[in-house]
Amino acid sequence: MPDTEPVIRRALISVSDKTGVVDFACELAGLRVELISTGGTASLLREENLIVHDISEVTGFPEIMDGRVKTLHPKVHGGLLGTRDNPQHAQAMDQHDIAPIDLLVVNLYPFAQTVAQGADFATCIENIDIGGPAMIRAAAKNHAHVTVVVDPADYPLVLDEMRQHGHVRAGTRRALAAKAYARTAAYDAAVSTWFADQLGETAPKWRSFSGELKQTLRYGENAHQKAAFYVGGTSPARPGVATARQVQGKELSYNNINDTDAAYELVAEFDPSASAAVAIIKHANPCGVALGDTLAEAYDKALMSDRVSAFGGIIAANRTLDAEAAAKMIEIFTEVIIAPDADPEALDIIAQKKNVRLLLAGGLPDPSAQGLHLRSVAGGLLVQTRDNGRIGRDDVRVVTRRAPTERELDDLIFAFRVCKHVKSNAIVYARDGATVGIGAGQMSRVDSARIAAHKAEESARAKRESGLDDEKPKPAEMPQGMVAASDAFFPFPDGLLETAKAGATAVIQPGGAQRDDEVIAAADEHDLAMVFTGMRHFRH
């Protein structure tokens, strides 16, 4: 640390995001700070009658190559990097006529925004900032003498300290330096990720991921864990919980964000122009998912799947929220509702429940889009492409004597898409475009089938009690004509036999087990129609 705190006499300002820079520069000028600036920034400041020195006056060199080289010069980097209390540095500065730069204000070419706008390769390349990061890194290294500001949000802090103390305090300079390195690291992460994407590289030697702080969270999954929510890293941004506008309700918690993400990704599987879809999520697993002509109908059906578990859940809808659906959704306690948009009447209805967090995402994420999925393990990161596999009617192969009926096939495809969003081992029973029983996260597929059957039994009872099911009560109290989906193959007939026992008439599963023949024979024996997808949807 220098003996005396460094007074700011000379500032270099070079910003792409010009938010607040004019006011900041005016205040600096008022504090007798000499201003140096690059092309566009200098012009803007001059329009405000500020006295600004062009960077070319400092370097003795014009800005060249469309701005590719403007600040990359020893007069700039010497001014940023020279340690003022080092006699050799001081002598070099003297000898080469290098004046110190005490404050660096830089924000970078908008690379991520350019990529998000779908710009062509050459435009993206041109938006990789070179001179800016070089200066930021230099100034941050020399934070003992230099203040570096990369975020317009920090302009007031710097001015306050200059006014109060005559300089920016050492602790603040260090914090700003840390922020500066995080900024350049995040910037390079965006560039390198984009490059890897361009090359279709899924396993580059070095991987950097970055994000921008959206929200500090009160705690993590549990109260003793600290947590924060970072957004970004995908381009273009995927509509969802990270991009959504929160219209009302308490602050989102870590678990809310995780569950809302699961819920919204699930409903996005269903084309809103074909049918309304609603998912109700608890602990990242669906307890009810349904399709309908309207969101209200879909919600009713989803709720009936597991009314008890739905309490305090997260609801996602794939269409603009309307008044009818909103009125139903606020009947029981719900933590979060997320939809692409909401009608004004729906907003008024939800507003009656002040605590409900309402998120409007502005669009639905594309379930087929490519992207990366990350998870941390001790000492490392597991990276995989996201599960964008989607099984449609044309992708399945009938393997049993009996082929599914049209209605069964619709339900099979529906159930398998839901299954993709249920923790493994997953078994989903469905009927008429609605789940009736979901078995999630068991170590044994047989147990998942049994749990799902138990849920289906409860669901059938609830429907009869509420008069929603016009079928006569059956002794076994099971929904009739339901189908079953399994996220992975049945290694033995036992799991499949559980679905038959529960009353399923048709089954969808990936196939590919050594004992497929035995499983198919068991299905034939029970007159089950079974289709293979050839695609597994494990989710852990």
Ligand X SMILES: NC(=O)c1ncn([C@@H]2O[C@H](COP(=O)(O)O)[C@@H](O)[C@H]2O)c1NC=O
Which residues form the interface with ligand X (CB under 6 A)?
14-16, 38-41, 67-72, 106-109, 129-132
Pairing relationship of beta strands 397-398 and 285-292 according to DSSP bridges: unpaired
Active-site residue, from 18, 283, 353, 501: 283
DSSP 120-155: -HHHHHHT--SHHHHHHHHHHHTTTT-EEE--GGGH
* Least spacing, CB of residue 110 vs ligand X, in Å: 8
Shortest Å distance, C-beta 67 to ligand X: 5
Cβ-Cβ contacts under 8 Å for 132 (sequence gap 6 or more): 14, 16, 71, 106, 107, 108, 109
For 76, the token pair is 């700039």
Q: Smallest distance from the beta carbon of 6 to ligand X, in angstroms?
A: 22
Q: What's the residue count for the chain? A: 540
Alpha helices per DSSP H over 4-130: 21-30, 39-47, 55-59, 74-81, 87-95, 111-116, 121-126
Residue-wise DSSP of 495-517: HHHHHHHHT-SEEEE----TTHH
The CA-atom distances, in angstroms, between 160 and each of 10, 32, 152, 243 are 17, 15, 14, 33
Give the C-alpha separation, 429 to 438, whole Å: 6
Query: What is the C-alpha separation between 407 and 324, in angstroms, rounded?
Result: 27
Q: How far is the CB of 208 from ligand X (least distance, A)?
A: 20
Least Å from the CB of residue 42 to ligand X: 7
Shortest Cβ distance from residue 38 to ligand X (Å)?
A: 4
- Residue 518 DSSP SS3: helix
Minimum CB distance to ligand X smaller for 14 or for 505: 14
Nearest to 496 by CA among 474, 517, 480, 475: 517
Dihedral sign, CA of 420, 423, 425, 431? Answer: negative
Whose Cβ is closer to ligand X: residue 22's or residue 513's? Answer: 22
Shortest Å, Cβ 159 to ligand X? 21
Nearer to ligand X, 72 or 351 (CB): 72
CB nearer to ligand X: give 72 or 182: 72
Which CB atom, from 131 or from 367, has the smaller least distance to ligand X?
131
Residue 236 preceded by cis peptide, ω within 30: yes
**Between 77 and 421, CB nearer to ligand X:** 77
Please state the three-class secondary structure of 355-399 as a single string.
Answer: CCEEEECCCCCCCCCCCEEEEEECCEEEEEECCCCCCCHHHCEEC
Of 187 and 416, nearer to ligand X (C-beta) is 187
Residue with Cβ nearer ligand X (59 or 425) = 59
- How many whole angstroms separate alpha carbon 510 and alpha carbon 259? 26
Interatomic CA distance for residues 240 and 365, integer angstroms: 7
226 as an active site residue: the answer is: no
Measure the CA–CA gap between 137 and 180, rounded to whole angstroms.
7
Which one of 141, 167, 179, 353 is the catalytic residue?
141
Residue closer to ligand X (CB basis): 14 or 172? 14
Give me the least distance between CB of 115 and ligand X, in Å please.
Answer: 16
Q: Smallest distance, Å, CB 23 to ligand X?
A: 17
- Paired with 321 in beta bridges are 342
d(CA 349, CA 277): 20
Tokens coding 114:
């350019």
Nearest alpha-carbon partner for 17 in 83, 109, 84, 135: 109
* Active site (annotated) includes residue 354: no
- Which residues are tagged catalytic? 141, 283
